[in-house]
Amino acid sequence: MSPQEARKIFEQADLLCSAEESALAVRRVAGEITARLADANPLVLAVMGGAVVFTGQLLPQLVFPLDFDYLHVTRYGDVTTGGQLEWIVKPRSDVAGRVVLVVDDILDEGVTMAEVVRRLRQQGASEVLSAVFADKNLGRAKPVAADFVGIHLPNRYVFGYGMDVKGAWRNLPAVYAVKGL
């Protein structure tokens, strides 16, 4: 997508969650995670690349011992609908016997998160929890529910705060919906 196309999408988009609301949501989620995991010495796994913004804002607010690593798995690439799950980078850290917190940008259909959780359990994690910045309301059941959710979004094509539209706008501090989608 050209910069001009990206700007046009942004200019026509609907604001769904402001930067201030996003920051408050992260602060609340950090408090919930702290209450649950402060004594667990968890392994926090960020799902790249969407989780980079949420993780970057969340980690400094988790003031307790933890280990950090990442994984990169996708069903989307640069397209707008999910396809075959592709593992690009597996975590380097051993998850066996660990409490693991998976951090991602959005729980959309839930297929990716369900597979990540399944695989971590298969590798011997003692407990696998998930934190997502956004949970999209699809109006139907998902194969997994997030343990910690920042915001709830309508079933629209969203971008910002780590979520992209054809590769653009992950860097925005707020969440927008593409006009007409």
18: which residues sit within 8 A by CB, 6+ positions away? Answer: 174
**What is the C-alpha to C-alpha distance for residues 165 and 99, in angstroms, rounded to an integer?**
33
Q: Would you state the pLDDT for residue 87?
A: 82
CB 22 within 8 A of CB 151: yes
CB 65 within 8 A of CB 34: no
pLDDT digits (tens, 9 = 90+) for 151-180: 999 999 999 999 999 899 999 999 999 997
Which H helix or E strand runs over 133?
Answer: strand 127-136
pLDDT at 57 exceeding the cut of 90: yes
Domain 18-156 fold = Rossmann fold (3.40.50)
pLDDT at 181 exceeding the cut of 70: no
DSSP string, 12-47: HPEEEE-HHHHHHHHHHHHHHHHHHHTTT-PEEEEE
